[in-house]
Chains A and B, each alone.
Chain A
Amino acid sequence: AQKITQTQPGMFVQEKEAVTLDCTYDTSDQSYGLFWYKQPSSGEMIFLIYQGSYDEQNATEGRYSLNFQKARKSANLVISASQLGDSAMYFCAMREGSLNSGYSTLTFGKGTMLLVSP
């Protein structure tokens, strides 16, 4: 089974609208971290937001928020007030195991291509 599933290969949104990118995960660990990265056409991977498995509040970073539903094992990214510059590939990733456990590799989903139209 895939550890990270992103079911939306592509999403379209109009400028200034909000958009939700889906991510579900599979792990038997109690301690884990979830990350979202943005990859524009230039190729660099830009870190957007992090959610720890024990964090009680949903993470927020500016226009980005993470809708964390632990029981459903989902960690959807919400982008509010979309901008043209938000057009990019978005990857959800998971780190299993506790922090500083010495095992900090990430498992990535297949990504969702977001296109923002004027």
Chain B
Amino acid sequence: GAVVSQHPSRVICKSGTSVKIECRSLDFQATTMFWYRQFPKQSLMLMATSNEGSKATYEQGVEKDKFLINHASLTLSTLTVTSAHPEDSSFYICSANTGTGTDTQYFGPGTRLTVL
């Protein structure tokens, strides 16, 4: 149980285009989903927290207009990187928890974004 999928796993795009990344909880309903960014050889940096049906809460320093998050249902959250630039190239990883039990976050496999 507790499987989270993420799509696409890799994406290469041109500078100025927008990229959408999907995060789905496959076998449970996720009350909260989280989006992280990870630079090479570094730890995870929380970008935002999203609850179904409400606006995402962004961490300090994360541009909400740049990184649009939509949590349309209890099993789906999307992150759209708008007008992507090379500095947005990174590993983006989502997680979801059920809000019950130990509140464990289960992670998706991540998306490697490369902006040319």
Interface residue ranges, A against B (CB under 8 Å) = 33, 35, 37, 42-47, 50, 52, 91, 95, 99-100, 104-106, 108-111
- B102/A109 in contact, CB under 8 A: no
Which residues of chain A have C-beta atoms less than 8 A from B108's C-beta?
Answer: 44
Q: Are B110 and A33 in contact (CB under 8 A)?
A: no
- Judge if B60 is at the interface, Cβ distance under 8 Å: no
Taking a contact as CB atoms under 8 Å apart, the answer to whether A99 and B105 are in contact is: no
Whether A43 touches B44, Cβ cut-off 8 Å, given contacts A95-B103, A100-B103, A105-B34, is no
B112 touches A91 (CB 8 A): no
Closest chain A residue to B99, Cβ basis? A100
- Do residues B102 and A45 form an inter-chain contact, with CB atoms below 8 A? no
Other than A47-B106, A91-B43, give 4 A-B pairs with Cβ distance below 8 A. Answer: A37-B107, A43-B38, A46-B107, A47-B104
| B107 adjacent to A109 (CB under 8 Å) | no
Residues on B with beta carbons closer than 8 Å to the beta carbon of A50: 102, 104
> B112 to chain A: which residues have CB within 8 Å?
43
In whole Å, how far is A114's beta carbon from the nearest beta carbon of chain B?
14
20 A–B contacts from the bound complex (CB under 8 Å): A33-B103, A35-B105, A43-B38, A44-B109, A44-B110, A45-B95, A46-B107, A47-B104, A47-B105, A47-B106, A50-B104, A52-B102, A99-B101, A99-B103, A100-B100, A104-B97, A104-B103, A106-B34, A106-B105, A108-B43
Ranked nearest first, the 5 interchain pairs of A and B with the lowest CB-CB distance are A45-B107, A43-B110, A44-B109, A108-B43, A50-B102
